Amino acid sequence: MKSKNIVQVVMVAFFMLALSSFKVETKKVSIDQEEQTISAIYDGAEDYGYNFIFTNDDEDESTITFQNVNEDVLKAFDLKSEALIGTNMKVTYSIVVETEEDEDGFESETEILTITKLEKIKK
Position 30 pLDDT exceeds 80: no
Task: Determine the CATH number of domain 24-120.
Answer: 2.40.50
Residue 79: CB atoms within 10 A of its CB come to 20
Q: Torsions phi, psi of 18, nearest 5?
A: -65, -40
On average, the pLDDT of the chain sits at: 82
Residue 11: band (very low, low, confident or very high) from pLDDT cuts 50, 70, 90 = low
pLDDT score, position 31:
53
Residue 101: band (very low, low, confident or very high) from pLDDT cuts 50, 70, 90 = confident
In this structure, are residues 115 and 73 in contact, taking their beta carbons and an 8 Å threshold?
A: yes
Residue 4: band (very low, low, confident or very high) from pLDDT cuts 50, 70, 90 = low
